[in-house]
Amino acid sequence: MNTERAQERRHFGHRARLTLTRAQIQLVDDQAHAARSLWNLLHAWWTMLPKDKRSLAAADTAIRQARSEIDWLAVLPAQAAQAVLKTYFQAWKNCWDGCADVPTFKARIRTAMSVDIPQGRDLKVTRVHRRWGMANIPKIGRVRFRWTKDLPVGKRADQENRITGARLVKDALGWHIAFRVQSLRARPEPHTGPDVGIDAGVNLPLALSDGNHQYHGRPSRLPDGQADRDKWLNLREKAKLLGLEQRACRREQQRKRGDKTSRRLRHTYDQIKQLRATATRRAVDWQHKTTTGIAKRYATVVIEQLHIKSMVKSARGTVEEPGRNVAQKSGLNRSISQEAWGRTVTMLRYKTARHGGTLHRVPAPGTSRRCSACGFTTPGSREGQATFVCKHPDCGWSGNADWNAARNVLHLYRTGRALVPAAGRAVVRRPRGVKPATAR
């Protein structure tokens, strides 16, 4: 067998938390603000310039001149400035191809702070401890990060297995570094495991057709049919979050219209963001572990083709035709958004391919109303949110409603009603000759 054909090149990312001093945090913050401001200046320059003078070389010359004349732009490394230019041009290419909207200005509040390090050789990553590693950040120096994954550094690094770059990203929990890693791995053998159908829910996160359901491990104390929006926080954290939200509400009511947000109110909001970020990290960790176990065990994974954007629409309605059960629908929408089904599908897509399996989609309508035992759809079989009792006179099967839907999902795949395999995301392009609002 040819060795080159038996191997494939993979690109993946790994995110680790940085440990920075106050001085280093200030320097990285300055670089992130400079990168955002450079994007805005580049966007203003691009939109005001005549079309015949717009080019990559002209933009590069303008950036070099701006960094030499403006001191607060010079804090951004030259490679990071070039990365901003490359990202901006890629945004326009995505717009011209119909994959994204027209690039706009980045606001200071709503934009995530980030700095790109495009050259992997500038990082000089080393492992100094079982739990810690060191990396070099341009114009910052050597910094420590949490070592939670083996990276190709030192003698293990070569032309095919190496760190190609990184990005510094800031969230409510502080600064993190996201490495871009390239590796050469052997192609996986075809998976020989069983097939499984999966139904995503709120009370039961992932129901599997073989009964091996995946729970959060954090049971809700609310009645049946209601989801706990803070299930990833313990009781102490929930009480703290409730107190912070009440405190923020009181201080917001005392603030007059037009006044700036006080320092105390901003600090309260920061504490709320930290608790929300902690819950998100726990949810992502559970999703990674669960999807990895599913990809290792099953050869074919079948899921529903869900339109989540339509599922989380508000039921408020209009003034002429107001909606019903608006508060209940709002709680359900929050629970659906918190489960992040789209992120679970994305993880399953690349993990099944990595382990030699496949991922397929089937139409969602009717999977929750059809009886998986007799195959009939009888009105009134769905009793409540979590129980299914078949009303057909010759059947009478009863069980978990999500498990019944998972069995129907697998049945649709086995009967040849699967959609196009979800190996990759299709790109929707504009028809030929149709240009966006802002042409080249």
65 and 210 together in one domain: no
306 and 368 together in one domain: yes
Task: Report residue 380's pLDDT band, with 50, 70 and 90 as the boundaries.
Answer: confident
Domains contained in the chain, number: 2
- 6-27: pLDDT as tens digits: 788 888 899 999 999 999 999 9
Answer whether residue 66 is part of any domain.
yes
Q: How far apart are CA 303 and CA 97, in angstroms?
A: 29
Q: DSSP states of 332-367 as a string?
A: HHHHHHHHTHHHHHHHHHHHHHHTT-EEEEEE-TTT
Residue 221 scores a pLDDT above 50: no
199 and 129 together in one domain: no
110 and 132 together in one domain: yes
Q: Which one is predicted more confidently, 373 or 123?
A: 123
Q: How far apart are CA 220 and CA 339, in angstroms?
A: 14
42 and 161 together in one domain: yes
282 and 206 together in one domain: yes
284 and 147 together in one domain: no
Answer whether residue 268 is part of any domain.
no
Return the structure tokens found at 271.
């504490």
325 and 294 together in one domain: yes
State the residue range of the domain holding 172.
Answer: 7-186
Task: Report residue 217's pLDDT band, with 50, 70 and 90 as the boundaries.
Answer: low
Answer whether residue 307 is part of any domain.
yes
DSSP β-bridge partners for residue 387: 383, 400
290 and 386 together in one domain: yes
Residue 439 scores a pLDDT above 60: no
The per-residue pLDDT for 420 is 62
Model pTM score: 0.82
Return the structure tokens found at 199.
């139904």
179 and 289 together in one domain: no
181 and 290 together in one domain: no
- 40-83: pLDDT as tens digits: 999 999 999 888 888 889 999 999 999 999 999 999 999 999 99
